[in-house]
Structure 1
């Protein structure tokens, strides 16, 4: 059986938020990209995510914001409970008249992004197993697990924390933060009756929260210091049980009640990892016409709520730089595209590094541990 050989201008690896947004940003300047996704459909692990005003500016630039804003409410206030003292602090989430954050279903966001792309822009069940550069500035040859071979002038990795493209660039592997997170949706068929405010509960070594998505669904999360030497279970029912019995026992009763209503199909438990800021500052974020976007570039802990937001920013910035090169030259010229990618890296590298550091130390401060968890 002969191998299928495809030739593309730009290939994006990963059809998550970063990959789809990058493809849209390129499409808006007249460039078609092929998006490769290893799964057989859009991946929706994570249930929901909160998007800050900077993310909505990016979504507006991508022409997608208007599809989502009518579906979800802006969160104007957050009530933070100190579990040890019982003190409750009310915090405004509105900053400088820019509006507040909005929490959305991850699936809805991904589908809204995917709808903006031409048919056949996403190739599912396409897992890269090797990448070869024919020269410093490409072209690149991608071998897929199914035997397909794809050559491309530009390669963009949007393939998450365990990025295959980041490894090809030589970026160091993300490290464990010493913490883990559980996220899921809770469903109340008759309505939950919870106010629209965000509720957070802070205790030594853990942070929990609930965010109403609509009248019948609540997004809930828990971050905690990972017990040393313990293996994480993958059984959703067992995870739910452990959260209720071990982590929620000292929290206000409303939290355990929300967890009891968990839709187990949405539950996800994972260690929190990050790329060390200095590895991002001094590492190879690009080589020739190859680079990375989103978690493939800057995995971070969720404590500032900026992982997905920064990925959307990345997409807009990279699209702008490559788009300008494309318009100036009338086509994708390898050397000019490499310069455009260098401009993108220069613009994003330091911001991403600060977000990684800020997220990590914010998580440490919020959970009031005596010392920060060891990174490594």
Structure 2
């Protein structure tokens, strides 16, 4: 531990997608002495998929792992949307967009394999941060070890210890829970390269192929008090999801859910954070900042949570690569610049996601009326303008 204390200039809390993407970006830019702390004893390879749009692929290309992931995931050609309350259907052609359903496991592995060995330290978690008078910080781990890195980056998710220290409040519950999983077809499936979205009465659902054998699906509905109990039982979780799909009347989705692999199944309460503290500048203090869900957790309706974390990583890396990490004032200025770059983008996408969730899943007559009479008629590729964001390339040095 003493060796880590003396050599780690950049400390990243969290070995998920945001943490590994941030580490890889910094590594590509030539920054050294990077340590990622992951509280689990290995990479957490459970879970299903992330929807990655054009903006996310630009970030992955900047990190140098885009083509690796493209080879393993099907590019989708369109989105079909069905409203069960009105009977209307709509198709959005994705001819000018790149959208793929990327398996979380494969994304994590691609990022981890591109990092130098021993970058990730498992079984370690930050328990406290203490700021000195010179605005440098001391990190205390749960085992009592203390570290004094030049930069501290919180990539520790929606319940981030680092975000809490910065002054963010706890995440808010959206009142909806989402089932997710991966249906596996070892001999290949028959699904076309598209997603089908279903807007029901208080329920939203979607499914589409990741590759030739795996199909991603999700279902969301109002949160129930029993969700916490069944989230740990894959058999019950799968059964509940199947019943919801049957209620929607989609036999193909029922079949996909039946074929779900147990370690891909999850049931989570959707969370978001009011972004006013972020806009006010609490996302940075001294040599400390946050990335991804630690900064801007949001509901998943726009499929932008993962992509925004990748954008954060690239933007932060560029800001830090411009300064001398031996000079605290320059580090602080770089982190402030990063926050300034990201706050408007995160706020806009977060608000759009929340509004989309309310309209898509609302069972009250007014949201349904707006959805079916206004939003549905305006569905078009123009509504994907947020995917046009480009965080720019990196000057690859390693």
TM-score by length of 2: 0.87
Taking the TM superposition and a 5 Å limit, the aligned residue runs for 1:204-283 are 204-227=201-224, 232-233=229-230, 234-282=232-280
**Most deviating of 79-88 and 173-182:** 79-88
Which of 356, 362, 375 is matched with 2:356 structurally?
362
Secondary structure of 1:304's counterpart equals coil
Which residue of 2 is the match for residue 335 of structure 1? Answer: 329
Q: CA deviation at 1:359?
A: 0.4
Which of 140, 145, 150 is matched with 2:147 structurally?
150
Q: CA deviation at 1:225?
A: 1.6
Q: CA deviation at 1:93?
A: 2.6
Which residue of 2 is the match for residue 175 of structure 1? Answer: 172
Deviations 1:184-204 (A, max 9, x none): 111122322111211111102
* 2:281 and 2:339 in contact (8 A); partners too: no
Deviations 1:226-248 (A, max 9, x none): 13686542211111111222453
TM-score by length of 1: 0.91
* 1:4 and 1:149 in contact (8 A); partners too: no
**Most deviating of 278-287 and 155-164:** 278-287
Which residue of 2 is the match for residue 73 of structure 1? Answer: 74
**Most deviating of 363-372 and 76-85:** 363-372
Taking the TM superposition and a 5 Å limit, the aligned residue runs for 1:85-124 are 85-94=86-95, 97=96, 99-124=97-122
Runs of 4+ in 1 over 3 A off after TM superposition: 2-5, 227-232
Deviations 1:275-325 (A, max 9, x none): 112232125110011000000000000001110000000000000011011
Secondary structure of 1:325's counterpart equals coil
Change (3 A) 1:130 1:239: same
Q: 5+ residue gaps in structure 1?
A: none
Q: Distance in 1 between matches of 2:66 and 2:271?
A: 29
Q: Distance in 2 between matches of 1:132 and 1:5?
A: 18
Q: Distance in 2 between matches of 1:332 and 1:359?
A: 39
* 1:137 and 1:335 in contact (8 A); partners too: no
* 1:4 and 1:148 in contact (8 A); partners too: no
Q: 5+ residue gaps in structure 2?
A: 368-398
Q: CA deviation at 1:271?
A: 0.2
Which of 320, 342, 353 is matched with 1:348 structurally?
342
Deviations 1:18-58 (A, max 9, x none): 11111111112221211100011112343111101001111
**In the alignment, does 2:18 pair up with 1:18?**
yes
Indicate the RMSD between aligned Cα atoms, in angstroms. 1.9
Q: Distance in 1 between matches of 2:74 and 2:256?
A: 20
Q: Distance in 2 between matches of 1:283 and 1:171?
A: 10
* 2:74 and 2:209 in contact (8 A); partners too: no
Q: CA deviation at 1:149?
A: 2.5
Q: CA deviation at 1:257?
A: 1.2
**In the alignment, does 2:64 pair up with 1:63?**
yes
Q: Distance in 2 between matches of 1:161 and 1:76?
A: 32
* 1:136 and 1:287 in contact (8 A); partners too: no
**Most deviating of 305-314 and 102-111:** 102-111
Change (3 A) 1:259 1:340: same
* 1:201 and 1:251 in contact (8 A); partners too: no
Name the structure where helix makes up a greater proportion of residues: 2
Change (3 A) 1:230 1:65: closer
Size of the aligned set, in residue pairs, is 363
Change (3 A) 1:232 1:203: farther
